[in-house]
């Protein structure tokens, strides 16, 4: 009887080993195919073909449902289509699979910000910063959420940190300029808008808001020039 049981165990072991060996080529093939769909999705997304990008990421997930990047990328495509709830679900799944992925928290923060869920957006941006303290975009995003809640001081602190991490971050300079403008700090606002324009002279908003700050200071000539530039840049875009 003992010999019979031993033989059965050996046969089960051999059958399992054979099954595993047979499944390896299938697994490799699936991984290779998933990688192709992943790259195709990225290419389609870059062309703003969001529906086709989502279809590619769906294929990736069918082939490899444990790949965080597929959910994160699909979430980004959904967010670009305005489907913030679908995006949040995908970013949350990406985070579930890889809780240390700062980018997924940042992306979910953006989706929550778009839904005007500023408190939860701040939570996500903060988590992204905790994981990656050098993430200038996360500071900028948290600054936007804070200013939406009326916390200008907190927003300015975040924009300042983003600029410290990336001195050429034109968007953070522009956003801090708007925060200074809201506080009536016109000279500081003008300085930030000017720097933002130096880095990116295609931003009509920077010209316009610098015009607003100059108007407040009584510089009507400088303001008029800024408003003209804002109009011209807007026409070219």
User: Is 129 within a domain?
Assistant: no
Task: Clarify whether residues 235 and 139 are in a common domain.
Answer: yes
User: Is 157 within a domain?
Assistant: yes
Residue recorded with tokens 């099954």: 19
Residue 3's pLDDT is 52
Q: Is the pLDDT of residue 2 over 60?
A: no
Task: Clarify whether residues 98 and 158 are in a common domain.
Answer: no
- pLDDT tens for residues 147-188? 999 999 999 999 999 999 999 999 999 999 999 999 999 999
Residue 22's pLDDT is 42
- pLDDT tens for residues 10-53? 334 434 444 444 444 547 778 889 999 999 999 999 999 999 99
Task: Clarify whether residues 149 and 116 are in a common domain.
Answer: no
Task: Clarify whether residues 140 and 225 are in a common domain.
Answer: yes
- For 137, the token pair is 């975009």
Question: Where is the domain boundary, 121, 151, 178?
Answer: 121
Residue 125, Ramachandran bin (φ over 0: left; ψ between -120 and 50: alpha; else beta): alpha
Question: Where is the domain boundary, 67, 88, 121?
Answer: 121
Mean pLDDT for 195-206 is: 96
- For 135, the token pair is 């993430």
Alpha carbons 234 and 160: distance in angstroms, whole number = 27
State how many domains the chain has.
Answer: 2
Task: Clarify whether residues 141 and 117 are in a common domain.
Answer: no
Alpha carbons 207 and 212: distance in angstroms, whole number = 9
- pLDDT tens for residues 58-94? 999 999 999 999 999 999 999 999 999 999 999 999 9
Question: Where is the domain boundary, 97, 121, 145?
Answer: 121
Q: Is the pLDDT of residue 5 over 60?
A: no
Task: Clarify whether residues 192 and 216 are in a common domain.
Answer: yes
Residue 30's pLDDT is 83
Q: Which range marks the domain in which residue 149 is found?
A: 134-237
Residue 150's pLDDT is 96
User: Is 1 within a domain?
Assistant: no
Residue recorded with tokens 């009507």: 220
User: Is 3 within a domain?
Assistant: no
Task: Find the CATH number of the domain harbouring 228.
Answer: 1.25.40.10
User: Is 9 within a domain?
Assistant: no
Task: Clarify whether residues 73 and 144 are in a common domain.
Answer: no
Residue 21's pLDDT is 47
Predicted TM-score of the model (pTM): 0.86
Task: Clarify whether residues 116 and 139 are in a common domain.
Answer: no
Q: Which one, of 131, 133, 163, 157, lies nearest residue 145 by Cα?
A: 157
Alpha carbons 126 and 71: distance in angstroms, whole number = 21
């Amino acid at each position: 009887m003992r010999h019979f049981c031993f033989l059965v165990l050996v046969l089960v072991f051999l059958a399992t080993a054979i099954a595993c060996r047979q499944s390896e080529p299938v697994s490799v093939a699936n991984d290779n195919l998933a990688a192709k769909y992943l790259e195709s999705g990225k290419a389609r997304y870059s062309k703003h073909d969001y529906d086709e990008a989502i279809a590619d990421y769906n294929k990736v997930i069918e082939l490899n449902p444990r790949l965080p990047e597929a959910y994160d990328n699909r979430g980004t495509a959904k967010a670009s289509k305005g489907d913030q709830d679908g995006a949040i679900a995908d970013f949350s799944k990406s985070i579930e699979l890889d809780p240390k992925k700062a980018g997924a928290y940042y992306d979910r923060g953006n989706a929550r910000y778009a839904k005007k869920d500023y408190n939860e957006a701040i939570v996500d941006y903060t988590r992204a910063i905790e994981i990656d303290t050098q993430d200038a975009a996360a500071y900028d995003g948290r600054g936007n959420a804070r200013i939406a809640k009326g916390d200008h001081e907190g927003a300015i602190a975040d924009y300042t940190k983003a600029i410290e991490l990336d001195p050429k971050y034109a968007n953070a300079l522009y956003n801090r300029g708007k925060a200074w403008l809201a506080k009536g700090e016109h000279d500081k606002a003008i300085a930030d808008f000017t720097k933002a324009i130096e880095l990116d002279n295609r931003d009509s908003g920077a010209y316009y808001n610098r015009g607003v700050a100059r108007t407040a200071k009584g510089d009507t000539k400088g303001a008029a020039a800024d408003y003209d530039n804002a109009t011209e840049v807007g026409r070219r875009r």
